[in-house]
Amino acid sequence: MASQVTGKPATLLRVLALSAAFLLAAGERVKNKIYDEIQGDMPCFKRFNGTHEIGCTSKFFGNTGVLHVIEEKADFDWVYEHGPHQPYVLAFTPLFLTEAVLERARDSGKVSGVVVVVPEDFDPETQLLDGFSGETECPDDYLGLYSASSNPNYSGYCRRKPWNPNGTSMLYTSWEFPIFLITNQTSVDNIHSCFEKFNKPVNGMPRDWPLCSMELKSNMFGTTNSEVCMRRASIGPLSTDNFCDPLYDYNIWGTLKPMNMSEEIPEKSVIIVAARMDAATMFDNISPGANSAVSGIVTLMSAAAAIFKHKEEIINTSNKNILFILFQGETWGYIGSSRVVWDMEQGQFPYKVKDDVKDQIAQINLTHIDYFIELEQVGQAMTSSQLYLHTDPISNSNSEVKEETDNLLEIFENASDLFDKLNLIPVKEEVPLPPSSIQSFLKRVNISGVVITDHEGEFKNPYYESFLDNYRNVKYEAYSDADLYHKHITNIASLLATAIYKLATNTTKKIEADPELTNELLYCYMKNMTCNLVQENGGDMAKYMESKPAKLYVSVENGERERSYVTMYLMAWLLGDEVKRDQQDCKIESIYNMSQFYYYPRAGNGTCVQSTVRMTDAMSPAFLIDDYDWKSGEYSTWTESGWKLTKVMIFLRPSVLEEVAVVCGGVVSLVLSVIVVHFMNSRADLLFGLSTPPAAC
């Protein structure tokens, strides 16, 4: 027989095993008592282009520091000159979010991280009198039309008269320590409460341990620049983590008339109506872009819906077609528009020719473009009712283009006469275009076009490309009888639709957009993407929307693009005709087909819509060209770093001596435990009165 351990030693082993299990289980509870996890889903993160890196990162295991809440400028001096408990994590409101503050923190050697707290009662209009923009003073200037111009009046214009005077360039700076945005009021209260109780100096004197501390985790995998980062990713599967990914999303577009490959498209027969669809901030998960993007998106969609009601009139009286398009990635070097231009030059817009596809959609190239109308920031003209028409002085030096441009301006001015509350002002001919997608086209072809904005010179938007460019910035009051904003956007959409109708048919007709539709769209994009309009007409991806404003960051190939699919379904609904097909038959044979089919399960058996709307890739041509010169400045080279986890935790930290004492005590306890267990095991027969079991037969 084999020997067995019985009696008290077995009982002892069971007790030890149960004790160990208890300690392991209790360890998790102890951790939960030590650390209080607060909002950590809005970190500043790393991005790269062909020459350098920007953004923020923490160390691999996170950055830890003693919390110090900044309430006035003197608090910074206290930390840097008198604070004895470095490193510190600084917490302050957007009032102190300036380039000088972050540079001093980075260079001091006493700061390991920053949290920007935004209390519910924070009012940027009264507390940020000068505005705040993380963008540069000359957005996208390095990849724009005028960067390589031989005329110094154009190439140096923005340096003399910045479009974005509130620009700080903080979005394009490498900070090398974590920065988090915290908007959750409970988390904001926890930070202030912990600081007041344990850390706030008394009569200028520092408090003693324990001290309230924070741990910020946002370790980024990418490094150096896009060329290095992409090369590391192509070496092989050395890691399951992505070093970086190209910025990538989809352009959403559709035409008024279907375009069949079998029918030749006449030259100069396509009127492009465009707006951009993306915005940016320093932080992840928040990019509202109320004026920088949403004002143009909603105006375009509302105008498209209004003009579509007159589709048959245009088809019967004109050979013109209208292409409505929302460009993605324009914030990061005109990614979407430059990709469309590149595809047109390659003979593959929207797709390459497929011999085996019936009713394939026709290809469009640069020769087909007649006019280009673009909506940039238009939301902050509500009080003045003044809109500005910008044109390109370089292309207008061509007499034929100049004549067409003058005709375009005249059509808009005549259309504005039909709407009492709008005043259109052409900008001086010698002034170059503001940042706009049409510049990608004008770099390749001379076309007549206009960019419609709410500013003549510098931006009226004080929070361009920041988390404060939200519905408050444009004074939108959802579903309020007192709201003037949706009426303002509706008027612009009506003006746009009226001008388009005139361009297409050479006939004047006042076309009015639907104010209810405009209001719904504004509410969805600026306040709540779980709105009824999105849930009913946003397709399968609508169920993934959150009750928050739309996230308008361009993202990466495997990133969050639900709002792109939702926008495509909304556009298809606005530019589509209901057809009698059940859900099973409401599908396309191929994305290359002239028309697409969309199913909307709103009520009963649902609705099937036939539309021309679709999406095409919005990724920079730089990532498609073999041996592309990353430093050439021809195309955008922006990539985004990969990361696994972002987290912010707050906890009480004892003094260093106490931490050392605890560690040493633990080591001594471990050694004594090993000695005691070894002694008891070797003397088990004496201690527990057991005899040696008989040997096996």
Tell me which residue of 529, 638, 551 sits closest to 279, measured CA to CA.
551
Q: Are residues 375 and 474 in the same domain?
A: yes
Q: For residue 240, what are the contacts with CB-CB under 8 A and spacing of at least 6?
A: none
* 30 domain-assigned: no
pTM confidence score: 0.91
Determine the structural domain holding residue 177 and report its residue range: 35-132+168-242+646-653
State the total domains in the chain.
Answer: 3
What's the confidence (pLDDT) of residue 26? 47
Alpha-carbon 83 to chain mean position? 37
Q: Are residues 123 and 256 in the same domain?
A: no
The identity of residue 588, as a single letter, is I
Copy the structure tokens of residue 136.
């540069």
Cβ atoms of 106 and 177 within 8 Å: the answer is yes
* 182 domain-assigned: yes
Q: Are residues 39 and 112 in the same domain?
A: yes
What single-letter DSSP state applies at residue 331? Answer: G
pLDDT tens sequence across 545-598? 999 999 999 999 888 889 999 999 999 999 999 999 988 999 888 899 999 999
Q: Are residues 119 and 209 in the same domain?
A: yes
- What is the CATH number for 557? 3.40.630
Q: If 0-12 CB within 10 Å is exposed, 13-18 middle and 19+ buried, where does residue 580 land?
A: exposed
Q: Are residues 452 and 414 in the same domain?
A: yes
How far is it, in rounded angstroms, from Cα 555 to Cα 180?
19
Q: Are residues 689 and 570 in the same domain?
A: no
Percent of the chain whose pLDDT exceeds 70: 91
* 293 domain-assigned: yes
Q: If 0-12 CB within 10 Å is exposed, 13-18 middle and 19+ buried, where does residue 169 land?
A: middle
What's the confidence (pLDDT) of residue 342? 98
How far is it, in rounded angstroms, from Cα 178 to Cα 167?
21
What's the confidence (pLDDT) of residue 240? 52
Q: Are residues 545 and 674 in the same domain?
A: no
Q: Are residues 590 and 696 in the same domain?
A: no
Q: For residue 564, what are the contacts with CB-CB under 8 A and spacing of at least 6?
A: 249, 250, 252, 277, 328, 615
**211, containing H or E segment:** strand 211-217
Q: Are residues 326 and 281 in the same domain?
A: yes
For the chain, residues with pLDDT lower than 70 are 1-33, 234-241, 603-604, 655-662, 687-697
* 674 domain-assigned: yes
Tell me the C-alpha to C-alpha distance, in Å, between residue 263 and each of 189, 319, 603: 65, 12, 37
Q: Are residues 228 and 274 in the same domain?
A: no
* 635 domain-assigned: no
What's the confidence (pLDDT) of residue 35? 86
* 639 domain-assigned: no
pLDDT tens sequence across 218-267? 999 998 999 998 888 766 555 556 789 999 999 999 999 999 998 889 99
* 299 domain-assigned: yes
Copy the structure tokens of residue 367.
């020769």
* 117 domain-assigned: yes
Q: Are residues 611 and 676 in the same domain?
A: no
What single-letter DSSP state applies at residue 290? Answer: I
Tell me which residue of 430, 521, 523 sits closest to 479, measured CA to CA.
523
Question: Which of 603, 619, 635 is a domain's end point?
Answer: 619
Percent of the chain whose pLDDT exceeds 90: 77
Please state whether the peptide bond connecting residue 693 to the residue before it is cis, i.e. omega within 30 degrees of 0. Answer: no
Q: Are residues 311 and 172 in the same domain?
A: no
